[in-house]
Amino acid sequence: MATQAVKTQSAKTRHTISMVLIYILLILIAALMLVPFVWMLSASLKLNKDVFTFPIEWIPSNPR
């Protein structure tokens, strides 16, 4: 009986760890998918000449 409880606890721990890793991966993918949208919003507040400056200015100093 004691070995069964240890196996069950181990399985629960593995399941929890795998779910945490899956959620972290999903959050990273969602953030990656939102980057073009954030860029579009940022670019809409800039002049045309300021859109492709380097380094990227995500929040424009003079929004238009």
- Say what the pLDDT of residue 36 is: 93
At a CB cut-off of 8 Å and minimum separation 6, what does 42 contact? Answer: 57, 58, 59, 60
Q: Is the Cα dihedral 46, 51, 55, 58 positive or negative? A: positive
- Say what the pLDDT of residue 6 is: 59
- Say what the pLDDT of residue 52 is: 85
- Say what the pLDDT of residue 49 is: 84
Low-confidence residues of the chain, pLDDT below 50? none
- Say what the pLDDT of residue 24 is: 98
